Amino acid sequence: MTLNHSITHSPINQQLGDGDDAGEVTLPGISEGEIVVLRSKRRKKSISAYRQGGRIIVSIPARMSKADERSVVPEMIAKIRAQEAGESPSETVLMQRASELLELYAPEITARPKSINWRAMRERWGSCTSVDATIRISDRLKGAPSYALDYVLFHEAIHLHHFDHGPEFKAVLARFPEESRAEAYLEGFEAAERRYMPPAVLPGAEVL
């Protein structure tokens, strides 16, 4: 696989065999667009929250009241966000690492990113706007092996100088010593995602 500037995922058409039944969800004040709430008949009191395919999935008991749901779900989302903030490199660290990678493998490129931000991106691993030297990295890479994150950072940083995926770009990208390993990881990640139906289309689930 070649890490294109706008990688897209194949349609996901397999269902989770979880047995969860979900109900209608309305949570005012949450506008992230990446939150899925599932109501599970299997759950009596326990609540869980986890990442899947770039989204935060919150599974709650089917009989939980709407009032309790509006209180509990934002708390679970906050816990996931706090955990990720502690485990993921800060945007300052990402900036420093991108500069280090350019110095190591592409010293002829003098341009440097002005900002690097984590973004909820499901169809790309990263993107670069060369006009204002900004880079965005998919939050699916939070917790990824360092070589995979480095590879995406290096890929996007090269776009500060090479704006397309022509031969010159590919020649520079090939200098990354773990290119094959990183591409294998990204392919494996995408293959794992494709094994499951997006939560948005699970019976009764709703994306917030």
pTM of the predicted protein model = 0.60
User: Under DSSP, is residue 52 helix (H, G, I), strand (E, B) or coil?
Assistant: strand
Question: Beta strand pairing status for 35-40 and 206-207?
Answer: antiparallel
8 Å CB contact between 111 and 161? yes
pLDDT 10s digits, 113-170: 999 999 888 888 999 998 999 999 998 888 788 999 999 999 999 999 999 999 999 9
Is residue 163 in a domain? yes
Tokens of 171: 């020649």
Domain holding 181, by residue range, is: 91-193
Is residue 73 in a domain? no
User: What's the total number of domains in the chain?
Assistant: 1
Q: How far apart are CA 95 and CA 9, in angstroms?
A: 27
Is residue 23 in a domain? no
Q: How far apart are CA 64 and CA 33, in angstroms?
A: 22
9 pLDDT band, cuts 50/70/90, is: very low
Write the DSSP assignment of 78-132 as a string of letters: HHHHHHHHHHSPPHHHHHHHHHHHHHHH-TT-----SEEEEE--SS-SEEEETTT
Is residue 188 in a domain? yes
pLDDT at 200: 45
Question: Beta strand pairing status for 134-138 and 206-207?
Answer: unpaired
Is residue 143 in a domain? yes
Is residue 111 in a domain? yes
Q: Residue 198: which of 16, 8, 6 has the closest Cα?
A: 16
Is residue 149 in a domain? yes
The CATH number covering residue 152 comes to: 3.30.2010.10
Is residue 4 in a domain? no
CA-atom Rg of the chain in angstroms: 19
53 pLDDT band, cuts 50/70/90, is: low
pLDDT at 179: 95
